[in-house]
Amino acid sequence: MDLTQIKTSSGKTLADFHVSQNLLANDGELVELILRSDSMNDGERQYWFNLTEVMNGEQVEKLRGILMREKKKLAEIEEKYGSKNVDPVEAKKRALESAKNRVEKQQTLRQKEAAHNEKEETEQDAILAEFDDL
C-alpha cells in the first residue's frame, strides 16, 4: 500500500501532515486508517498523528480498534444502502417531476384554503345579518 497516494475527504495527502518516521515505518496500517477515516477532519488527523508518538501500545490498539469498527460499520451501511449511482439526466428528470408535483399540491392546497375561507366568510356574513335583523 502506497500511503502517499491516499487522499483525505478534503483532498490532502500524507505529505500535508507531520507523521513520525517511527509510525510510518512500524504501523502503516494505522496511518492508512487515520487518513481514510470519514469521522475526522484534517485537524483531528494531525492531532492523532501527534498523539500516537506518546501513546502506549494499549492506547494505540484501542485507537486501531475504533477506526477498524468505523471502517467496518461504514462498509456495512454502504452494502446495505449502496451508493445508488443515478444517471444525471435521470436525476434531473426526477427532480423536475418532483418539483412539478410539489407545485400542483401547493396549488390544490391554496384552492382548498381559499374555498374554506370563502365559506367561513359567508357563514359569518349570515350570522351578522341575523344580528342586524334583531
Single out the residue of 8, 6, 21 nearest to residue 53, CA to CA.
Answer: 21
* C-alpha triplet 81, 87, 88: angle, nearest 5°: 115
Angstrom CA distances, 132 to 78, 128, 129, stand at 71, 6, 5
CB under 8 Å to 55, separation ≥6 — which residues?
63
- Distance from C-alpha of 18 to C-alpha of 106, rounded to nearest angstrom: 55
- Distance from C-alpha of 26 to C-alpha of 15, rounded to nearest angstrom: 18
Amino acid symbol at 74: L
* pTM, entire model: 0.59
CA dihedral angle for residue 115, residue 119, residue 121, residue 123, rounded to 10 degrees: 180
pLDDT tens, per residue, the chain with 134 residues: 789 999 998 999 999 999 999 999 999 999 999 999 988 999 999 999 999 999 999 999 999 999 999 999 988 888 887 756 667 777 788 888 888 888 899 999 999 999 999 999 999 888 888 888 87
- Distance from C-alpha of 5 to C-alpha of 14, rounded to nearest angstrom: 8
Report CA Rg, the chain.
Answer: 30
- Asked if 7 and 38 count as a contact pair (C-beta separation under 8 A), the reply is no
Residue showing cell 359569518: 124
Identify the pLDDT of residue 85. 64
